[in-house]
Structure 1
């Protein structure tokens, strides 16, 4: 029988399983919702859905380069312990190869990639059931370079941080140096041309108020023109601190990143930096409270 979108949605709401898995389960059970739930449980997929409300903020990042193509991505688990598990490490590498070969350019596209009859979404659900923790894929990015360009890839702390740099000119060693610098110094932008006017205006406003507050406490307050110069000086320093090309090069702070690559006949085109769990609000667990609640139950 034909499976309707409404049936798929209903089964997805009940089990939390992926759309493709729900559709297949319904097809296998002639549209019987209860039987489809059992089917998913037997496959370990509905079991995985029970973990859907957990927060996966640990894990590892990875970067893979193959010729002119690179992918950089993050695979999350609930605990750092599981991130060291051989099954997790094998999944991390396997997913990277699947994503690289697929041409997927985003997390959403990567989740729908099918390999050996199974979608990446299904592989993650199965891994969740097998490993016993919620496993999620996030922040997948694909970069394609020109023949004359150079990739630099670097992983820090086994993949807690992964970076990818792209240079015009230079060589593999220079590109990797930039990737290492990005991992260490955490730049937010390539250069100041990428910073929005709104961001600069807001930062200037904050610095103006700080300067006025400081000046009000001075025994001999500075004149307005001096305050304005002070604010602009602080703003310029702040903008340089967050731009890759303006930062002091980590291996030689006497020169900037821009000077370092220029001396090596290169120009930085772009960079990507992923750090495990950034942007995820981790759940704080009060174990003592949990124990007391169980005692009272």
Structure 2
């Protein structure tokens, strides 16, 4: 059996919102696997409303930039938030974003591209690591373009113009006036930042994600003790609900909680006198999906000195 540490239980509590003993049992049942423990808690109905997997797990900055009908987003990671406030690091993120905007939409290709200084992005990054004294990496990039219309940017928790913790791009294809597209794009981008859709349409959702949810739904439904045919309908109902809640166009607009995003876009097009098509989007949140090492300095000192840690008291009956 895996050694379940207090730090692991604390991490799972923060991610799930479940109680200490439930988190400890979940980790024991799954041999310390964090994702498996989250699923275990959800099948038991013990996890709080889904904590976004986009919890910050690394530092750095996300950059977004737009030029006409083209937009680009990049993520550059650092070890600490202190570096994200460094002007040299911020300028690097801006320059890399504009390189992506210029047509380079692949991480390896960007690393080989030239910076305004004449050196490559890779060499500049190496120099930054040496001068700033902290490891940094160019993690990902995405570029959007429409034939006509607008790509609208939005940065949440901005550290400076065009850079921050969450960067969003919304691609709208239309002959509608630019003012109408910018207004709609800003609203949809703010929704995306808050609602964290997994795909544009239900058909675009990751099949592995759907199967994982199906397994969770099946286990929960089976515990109801209902006949197999009813269980099957319960599972399909859960999956249909999951699809609607995680595809952007079928999500309910966060600003009113009742209108689907597809209807928000359709109404904006009607008001502007031209059809508006929501073609694509990008949502980069700093550090999403990156496992960051946890360091408990007090525990390390205690272990080195042979002094036992203070433990959370076990709940009494």
Contact kept, 8 Å, 1:107 with 1:141, in 2: the verdict is no
What is the CA–CA distance in structure 1 between the aligned matches of 2:219 and 2:295, rounded to whole Å?
38
Match of 1:268 among 268, 273, 278: 278
In structure 2, the partner of 1:214 is 224
In structure 2, the partner of 1:161 is 166
What is the CA–CA distance in structure 1 between the aligned matches of 2:80 and 2:255, rounded to whole Å?
33
Name the TM-score, length of structure 2 as normaliser: 0.67
Mark the structure with the bigger radius of gyration.
Answer: 1
What is the CA–CA distance in structure 1 between the aligned matches of 2:204 and 2:137, rounded to whole Å?
31
Q: C-alpha offsets along residues 35-83 of structure 1, whole Å, 9 cap, x if unaligned?
A: xxxxxxxxxxxxxxxxxxxxx9201101100112211001111101221
Match of 1:256 among 249, 257, 260: 260
Matched, 1:288 2:298: yes
Matched, 1:232 2:244: no
Matched, 1:177 2:187: yes
Does the residue aligned with 1:160 lie in a helix, a strand or coil? strand
Q: 1:198 to 1:275 in 2, by over 3 A?
A: closer
Q: 1:104 to 1:248 in 2, by over 3 A?
A: same
Q: Please identify, of 87-96 and 113-122, the stretch whose mean Cα deviation from structure 2 is larger.
A: 87-96
In structure 2, the partner of 1:110 is 110
Cα deviation for residue 87 of structure 1 reads: 2.1
What is the CA–CA distance in structure 1 between the aligned matches of 2:77 and 2:208, rounded to whole Å?
33
Does the residue aligned with 2:266 lie in a helix, a strand or coil? helix
What is the CA–CA distance in structure 2 between the aligned matches of 1:291 and 1:185, rounded to whole Å?
41
Cα deviation for residue 262 of structure 1 reads: 0.8
Equivalent runs, 1:125-164 vs 2, <5 Å: 125-146=126-147, 148-158=148-158, 159-164=164-169
Does the residue aligned with 2:259 lie in a helix, a strand or coil? strand
Q: 1:71 to 1:189 in 2, by over 3 A?
A: same
Contact kept, 8 Å, 2:248 with 2:261, in 1: the verdict is yes
What is the CA–CA distance in structure 1 between the aligned matches of 2:246 and 2:121, rounded to whole Å?
36
Contact kept, 8 Å, 1:162 with 1:275, in 2: the verdict is yes
Structure ranking higher on relative contact order (CA contacts 8 Å, 6+ apart): 2
Q: C-alpha offsets along residues 61-118 of structure 1, whole Å, 9 cap, x if unaligned?
A: 01100112211001111101221122222222222233333x2111111001023431
Matched, 1:277 2:278: no
Contact kept, 8 Å, 1:261 with 1:267, in 2: the verdict is yes
Which runs of 5 or more structure 2 residues have no equivalent in the other structure? 1-56, 159-163, 270-275, 307-317
In structure 2, the partner of 1:192 is 202
Which runs of 5 or more structure 1 residues have no equivalent in the other structure? 1-55, 216-221
What is the CA–CA distance in structure 1 between the aligned matches of 2:219 and 2:300, rounded to whole Å?
45
Does the residue aligned with 1:59 lie in a helix, a strand or coil? strand
Name the TM-score, length of structure 1 as normaliser: 0.72
When the two structures are aligned, how many residues end up with a matched partner?
233
RMSD of equivalent CA atoms:
2.3
What is the CA–CA distance in structure 1 between the aligned matches of 2:295 and 2:277, rounded to whole Å?
47
What is the CA–CA distance in structure 1 between the aligned matches of 2:283 and 2:228, rounded to whole Å?
40
